[in-house]
Amino acid sequence: MKQRVVFIIGASSGIGLATAQKLADAGNVVYCGARTPCPDERITSLEVDVTKPQTIVDASEKILDETGRIDQLVYCAGYSMAAPVEFAEEKDYRYLFEVNFFGALAAIRAVLVHMRESGYGRIVLIGSMGGVLPIAYDAFYSSSKAALLMLGKELNMEVKPFGIKATTVLPGGTATRFTFKRNVYSAEQVGVYGSDLDKSVGSLAGIEQGGMEAEKVADTVIKALEADNPPSVIASGFVNKTYYLSQKIFPDKLTQYLVSNQYNLN
Task: Please say if the pLDDT value at position 170 is more than 80.
Answer: yes
What b/e readout covers 23-38, taking b as 16+ CB neighbours within 10 angstroms? bbeeebbbbbbbeeeb
DSSP secondary structure letter of residue 212: B
pLDDT in tens, 205-214: 999 999 999 9
**What residues are annotated to the active site?**
141, 145
What's the predicted TM-score (pTM) here?
0.94
pLDDT in tens, 172-183: 999 999 999 999
DSSP secondary structure letter of residue 174: B
Mean pLDDT calculated for residue range 101-130: 97
CATH number for 5-262: choose from 3.30.450.20, 3.40.50.720, 3.90.1200.10, 3.10.290.10.
3.40.50.720
Three-state secondary-structure class, residue 47: strand
Nearest to 127, CA basis, from 34, 30, 232, 51: 232
Going from N- to C-terminal start, the domains of the chain cover: 5-262
**Distances from the Cα of 37 to the Cα of 12, 214, 217, angstroms:** 6, 18, 21
Give Dmax (Cα) for the chain: 56
pLDDT value of residue 220: 97
Mean pLDDT of the chain: 94
* Residue 188 CB neighbour total at 10 angstroms: 7
> E strands within 57-129?
72-75, 81-82, 121-126
CB neighbours of 206 closer than 8 A, spacing ≥ 6? none
* pLDDT over 70, % of the chain: 100
DSSP secondary structure letter of residue 131: G
Task: Please say if the pLDDT value at position 27 is more than 70.
Answer: yes
